[in-house]
Amino acid sequence: MKIADLFQMMAKHNASDLHIKAGEPPVFRVAGQLARMQNVPPLTPKETEDLLLPLMDDRQRAVLADQGYEDFAYHIEGVGRFRCNLFRQLGMLSAAVRRVNLRIPSYEELRLPPQVARCAEFEQGLILIGGVTGSGKSTTIASILNDINAKRRCHILTIEDPVEFVFKDDKAIINQREIHIDVKDFKSALRSAVREDPDVMLVGESCTAELIQDQPGSLAMGMSLPIPIVPLELPAYSKKENWGASETFYHLVRTLLLPLAPAPGAPPRESVTATGWVAPVRQGRGTLWVVRSLMGRKALSPSRRKLCRPRRP
């Protein structure tokens, strides 16, 4: 058994994730549920390393040895693109692999509300996409960028670790920079971006003060792992700087993955839904507050509804 065979099985059975660890057979996530590979004995530590180490080059192996984990993308022609995370646990090698669809779905296919489609119309400001792992952040933001690509003559710059969806130039031109391959780190990439004339910029998995402070007057998009429900604290800015940062925000979107009822004979499917947004966020005593929910106030718990009330100055 080779790792390419497992990747092909992911594509064949529409699995979103693959888990590999010593002591277990390969485990696939299909329609949100984990399923062990049948009629395959548990992998030994050596078999696990023989499967996974060929995925990495010398630099990536050095990072794994130094940090205990490494993130990278892997592409198999005719099969797909995969986001790989290799890590050590109990002294043994394990992996979590996410399959990235080659085709970027539309808003309609993702069941996204019309407020999300509005993000493609903005020319300045900051859009933050947040949600738990696997909730559709990357897919949501890819659909927005693909919409911009189809409609606007502009320069789109992405900074990712690793690059997931690969775009093809349409009306826009797109440059995609991968951390550790094209640029040293996010901070260096953001500093460089100021001189690269971006109209739209994506910073993957990085909601930092640098993105708020240094975004070069263009439309900037970022992703955040924790669900960005109120409050979103800013670093130690002055009152004037804090208000300016609050004016930067256009949209704050929280994503959630929901199961869809399949048609007879069809495999289960999932869709992304956005459950919260803001346009723009307003400031109260140094804090940015989310004040709207697409699902309505009744969808929030009493404690969450209390948080969503903007503070009085």
- Contact present, 112 and 140 (Cβ < 8 Å): yes
Average pLDDT over residues 45-60: 95
- Given a cut of 60, whether residue 285 has pLDDT beyond it is no
Percent of the residues in the chain that have a pLDDT greater than 70, as a whole number? 65
In this prediction, residue 40 carries a pLDDT of: 93
End-to-end CA distance of the chain: 63
Instruction: Specify the higher pLDDT residue, 259 or 112.
Output: 112
79-90, pLDDT tens digit by residue?
889 999 999 999
Better-scored residue on pLDDT, 102 or 210: 102
CATH 3.40.50.300 occupies which residues in the chain? 107-307
Superfamily of domain 107-307: P-loop containing nucleotide triphosphate hydrolases (3.40.50.300)
* Among 147, 142, 126, CA closest to 221: 126
Chain region(s) in the chain for CATH 3.30.450.90: 3-100
**pLDDT band at residue 43, thresholds of 50, 70 and 90?**
very high
- 243-265: average pLDDT: 51
Lowest mean pLDDT segment, chosen from 1-5, 42-46, 302-306: 302-306
pLDDT at position 255: 59
Strand partners, 100: 81
CATH of 3-100, one of 3.30.9.10, 3.40.50.450, 1.20.120.80, 3.30.450.90: 3.30.450.90
For 251-285, b where at least 16 C-beta lie within 10 A, e where not — what string?
Answer: bbbbbbbeeeeeeeeeeeebbbbbbbbbeebbbbe
The pLDDT of residue 281 is: 39
Q: Is the pLDDT of residue 297 over 60?
A: no
pLDDT over threshold 80, residue 309: no
pLDDT at 291 over 70: no
Please report which confidence band the pLDDT of residue 251 belongs to, taking 50, 70 and 90 as the band edges.
low
Share of the chain above pLDDT 90, in %: 37
pLDDT in tens, 108-164: 888 888 878 888 888 877 777 776 666 778 888 899 999 999 999 999 999 988 888
Q: Tell me: pLDDT of 17 over 70.
A: yes
Average pLDDT, the chain: 74
- The pLDDT score that the predictor gives to residue 39 is 92
Given a cut of 60, whether residue 208 has pLDDT beyond it is: no
- Looking at residues 67-86, what average pLDDT do you find? 91
Interatomic CA distance for residues 106 and 104, integer angstroms: 7
pLDDT at 218: 60
pLDDT digits (tens, 9 = 90+) for 54-67: 999 999 999 999 99
Of 270 and 219, the structure prediction assigns the larger pLDDT to 219
Reading the block at residue 101, the tokens are: 């669809």
pTM: 0.69
Going from the C-alpha of 134 to that of each of 29, 97, 139, 158, 308, the distances in angstroms are: 11, 12, 10, 20, 25
Cα 3 to chain centroid, rounded: 24
Comparing 41-45, 199-203, 262-266, 280-284, the range with the smallest average pLDDT is 280-284
The pLDDT value given to residue 252:
58
